[in-house]
Amino acid sequence: MRRMVLAALFATLAFSGSAIAQNFPSRAVTIIVPFSAGGPSDAMARILAERMKTTLGEQVLVENVTGAGGSVGVGRAVRSAPDGYTVSFGHLGTHVANGAIYKLGYDLVTDLEPVALLPSNPMIIVSKNAVPAKSLKEFIAWLKTQPSPPTAGTAGAGSGSHIAGLYFENVAGVKLQYVPYRGTGPAMNDLVAGQIDMIVDQTSNSIGQVRAGNIRAYAITDSKRVESASDIPTVDEAGLPGFHMTLWSGLWVPKGTPKDVVAKLNAAAVDALNDSAVRKQLENLGLQMPPKDKLAPEALGTWQKAEIAKWWPMIKAANVKVD
Ligand code: MLT
């Protein structure tokens, strides 16, 4: 009798899971962006969400939930129902670095299911226009001669711009004072206004202001130039060889989300990445599409684990203190 009850229970659970998946989505899907509006994460999420609506046949909303280097927003997504209606947007900072800095209350690998690897971009070293440097070497010399540590905007401890700043301090032999914002959108506003000295920013966030002449760019943290910003030298060309950092992004859902639901969200993301108008928008921001053989959900999971193994030792060695 007990075996029959258990069998019936498992059958019901299995059926309800597949029933959820079969009807998914039957209402709006929300993508939680863990940084403020107007920044690079927000921009990419909104471009993709607009096209994901077509495949999913329901609204795809973007909600900005900010704070603590993105971990507040990721935590919100982790604790949401595993039904596919809440998706976590994140990147190297939020889904790798945060785990080496914060006591998160969730596990970046076991409490999340990977959905899709998204575009990536190198970082770009930019300063306010008032800095009298015409090259990366002159900029580093300027940084070293300031009476107090120059200010570097970030999206908070453990954000991509913060990790990039730590890496830059290491390789350039400079000391920075970090100024945390709820995203590099507001940080950029202050850089343009000359309120802070620099950002090691996502290229996609700075490229527009560089083109407009509102900030100064020194180098791209890659071995090859960005096609849509081919006038900006690489760090190898500019005298800081090997300072390579690519900030990749991705989508996750809470652990326990039905596989068929994950597959539908993955298909919507892949359709968006294959859409020529979407690709043009993203590539114009200096973003590079993920390799075609890295588009399955499992590929993001494998990539994230490898990045944790790569970055955690450096981040932990930096002994970052979070208040
Ligand atoms: C970061 O620095 O982690 C991101 O660029 C922040 C953002 O997307 O606003």
* The pLDDT of residue 9: 67
Q: Of 221, 238, 255, which residue is a domain's last?
A: 238
Q: Are residues 219 and 295 in the same domain?
A: no
- Number of the ligand 1 atom closest to the C-alpha atom of 154: 2
Q: Of 181, 210, 238, which residue is a domain's last?
A: 238
Q: Of 203, 238, 273, which residue is a domain's last?
A: 238
Residue 20 falls inside a structural domain: no
Instruction: Find out whether the beta carbon of 180 lies less than 6 Å from any atom of ligand 1.
Output: no
CATH of the domain at 115: 3.40.190.150
Residue 201 falls inside a structural domain: yes
Instruction: Find out whether the beta carbon of 269 lies less than 6 Å from any atom of ligand 1.
Output: no
Residue 11 falls inside a structural domain: no
3-state helix, strand, coil in the chain (%, to 5): 50, 20, 35
Token pair for 237? 């060309």
* The pLDDT of residue 323: 57
Q: Are residues 88 and 226 in the same domain?
A: no
Which residue has 């909600």 as its token pair?
63
Q: Are residues 214 and 255 in the same domain?
A: no
Total number of domains in the chain: 2
* The pLDDT of residue 12: 64
How far does the centroid of ligand 1 lie from the alpha carbon of residue 41, in Å?
A: 6
Instruction: Find out whether the beta carbon of 94 lies less than 6 Å from any atom of ligand 1.
Output: no
Closest CA to 53 of 252, 278, 230, 232: 278
Q: Are residues 140 and 198 in the same domain?
A: yes
Q: Whose CA is nearest to atom 8 of ligand 1?
A: 41
pLDDT digit string, tens, across residues 1-13: 777 777 776 666 6
What residues in the chain have per-residue pLDDT under 70?
A: 9-19, 323
How far does the centroid of ligand 1 lie from the alpha carbon of residue 146, in Å?
A: 26
Q: How many CB atoms lie within 10 A of CB 259?
A: 12
Q: Rounded to whole angstroms, what are the CA distances from 87 to 73, 224, 233, 236, 312?
A: 10, 33, 36, 37, 25
Q: Are residues 225 and 258 in the same domain?
A: no
- Which stretches within 148-251 are classed as H helix? 160-172, 184-192, 203-211, 235-238
Residue 307 falls inside a structural domain: yes
* The pLDDT of residue 17: 62
Give, rounded to a whole angstrom, the gap between the first and last alpha carbons of the chain: 56
How far does the centroid of ligand 1 lie from the alpha carbon of residue 19, in Å?
A: 37
Residue 95 falls inside a structural domain: yes
* The pLDDT of residue 209: 97
Counting residues of the chain whose pLDDT is more than 70, the rounded percentage is: 96
Residue 156 falls inside a structural domain: yes
Q: Are residues 114 and 126 in the same domain?
A: no
How far does the centroid of ligand 1 lie from the alpha carbon of residue 257, in Å?
A: 27
- Number of the ligand 1 atom closest to the C-alpha atom of 42: 8
pTM greater than the 0.85 cutoff: yes
How crowded is the C-beta side of 242, counted as CA atoms within 13 Å? 3
Q: Are residues 91 and 177 in the same domain?
A: no
* The pLDDT of residue 158: 92
Instruction: Find out whether the beta carbon of 153 lies less than 6 Å from any atom of ligand 1.
Output: no
How far does the centroid of ligand 1 lie from the alpha carbon of residue 240, in Å?
A: 23
Domain that holds residue 299: 26-120+247-317
